[in-house]
Structure 1
Amino acid sequence: MIDFLRGPVVHMEAEYIVMDVRDTGYRVFTPNPYAFAGKDEAVTVYIHHHVREDAILLFGFESREQQTLFRKLLEVSGIGPRVAVGILSAGKPETIIAAIQQENIAFLTKLPGIGKKTAQRMILDLKDKLIGAGLDGGLLSASGFGVELPANSNAQGAGTAWQEARDGLAALGYTAAELDKAWNSMKDTVKAEEAVDSLMKRALQQLFKG
């Protein structure tokens, strides 16, 4: 099984990167493809090698902590690799870990693909296992929970959809400054009828670009 790959990133899309490892291109699905933008040198990506009957997929992460948390998420009934990647794309690892240990269902249900029952299973299945795996979120800050942000005049033109998306992203730990920057980068292409989920996804892409 592949544990990590090292090589330059030669291509990226919204959901994956392509790494050139000894003249072979590996497609690697990753929470933050844009984190690798502008890096011409070789990078190390920690891999989860997922094998199923109809496909062999590679999921990659910037750190061992992300890799370990991803594998722990897969142990929860109802969470597959796509949902686990979505969770890691929407929240910082330390914030997700802290939410599980603090049994913060309100936070967990804001993560993509996670309903109340799955959030409860995450807490039940992982709360103690994260400490044993060295992922002790109890020592990490969860200051992003329940953040109240001032009204954003830029968001008014997009109606309540952007405000709801903004509130959801704030609850995932992103700051007002980060959200304002993301909005300024995307506001000219936002459609009046665009849904909250779409706005959150587009904003996350901007946030990953930095």
Structure 2
Amino acid sequence: MIGQLTGNILEKHPPMVLLEVYGVGYEINMPMTCFYKLPELNKKTTIFIHFIVRKDIQLLFGFNSKQERILFRELIKVTGIGPKLALSILSSMSAKQFIISIEQEEINTLIKLPGVGKKTARHLIIEMKDVFKKMYNGLCENNAEFTIINSSISSITDVEAEAIAALIALGYKSKEAQKMIIGLDKSNEKNCENLIKIALRKIV
């Protein structure tokens, strides 16, 4: 299975990019939110791939980060969501905006997405909220032993440290993750999962 490709960009025809890797050109479909972040033609880049094989066709879907690919893979597991619709959803809003829409159960926002009606929006909210909960819990548990790089922060709690580690695992830089968590009003939040949710809402 193809997991990632690194090569030179030969052509860009939204939403498809042609990437040359050792003389072979790969046609990769990307969400527009990822497509517009690509470098110029003839520049080298790395694209994270989700590879779909069917009887009559092979399709490559590409993303700028592993986190975006994870979201795509979870999306196509949702009832009524296929690869093309998942690509359309992620083309219409960033991964962060989508997460917030699901967390806050914004059906009116979701039904504005191409191909998404009320029934599909409800499926998205029900199924993706459960996915995010497991994801947050997993990130917190897997980073329980994380040590803050910036030793000048002496008042940080273990829960805050876990939340920062989880954000780093989601692709944020260490300083950025620290700033996101440390600046929150945490008087009523003692849970790593909740801190992550609040931090993500603040940046949208």
Answer yes or no: same fold by TM over 0.5: yes
> How many aligned residue pairs are there?
144
Q: Which residue of 1 aligns with 2:201?
A: 141
The DSSP-based 3-state class of the residue aligned with 1:76 is coil
- Equivalent residue, structure 1, for 2:104: 102
The 8 Å contact of residues 11 and 41 in structure 2, kept in 1 or not, is answered as no
Q: Secondary structure at the match of 1:88?
A: helix
* Alignment root-mean-square deviation, CA: 1.9
Match of 1:60 in 2: 62
TM-score normalised per structure 1? 0.64
Amino acid aligned to 2:114: P
SS in 2 for 1:11: strand
How much has 1:40 moved relative to structure 2? 3.7
Specify the code of the residue in structure 2 equivalent to 1:130.
F
Give the Cα–Cα distance (whole angstroms) in 1 for the partners of residues 20 and 124 of structure 2.
Answer: 35
State the alpha-carbon separation in 2 of the partners of residues 108 and 130 from structure 1: 17
Q: Which segment is superposed worse, 107-116 or 34-43?
A: 34-43
Structure 1 segment 173-192 matched on structure 2, within 5 A: none
The structure number with the bigger radius of gyration is 2
The equivalent residue for 1:170 is none
**Residue equivalent to 2:46:** 44
Quote how far apart the aligned CAs of 1:42 are: 1.4
Q: Distance in 2 between matches of 1:121 and 1:38?
A: 38
- Counterpart CA distance in 1 for 2:202 and 2:113 is 15
Aligned-residue offset at 1:92 = 0.9
Residue 6 of structure 1, CA deviation: 0.5
Q: 1:37: how far off?
A: 4.6
Change in Cα spacing, 1:64 to 1:131, as seen in structure 2 (3 Å) is farther
Q: 2: CA distance between counterparts of 1:46 and 1:143?
A: 24
Aligned identity (percent) is 38
Return the letter of the residue paired with 1:9: I
Distance 1:120 1:94, change over 3 A: same
TM-score for both structures, normalised by structure 2: 0.65
- Moved beyond 4 Å, runs of 4+: 134-137
The one-letter amino acid of 1:88's match is L
Structure 2: 5+ residue stretches without partners: 137-169, 171-192
Aligned to 1:184: none
Cα distance in 2 between the residues matched to 1:41 and 1:123: 38
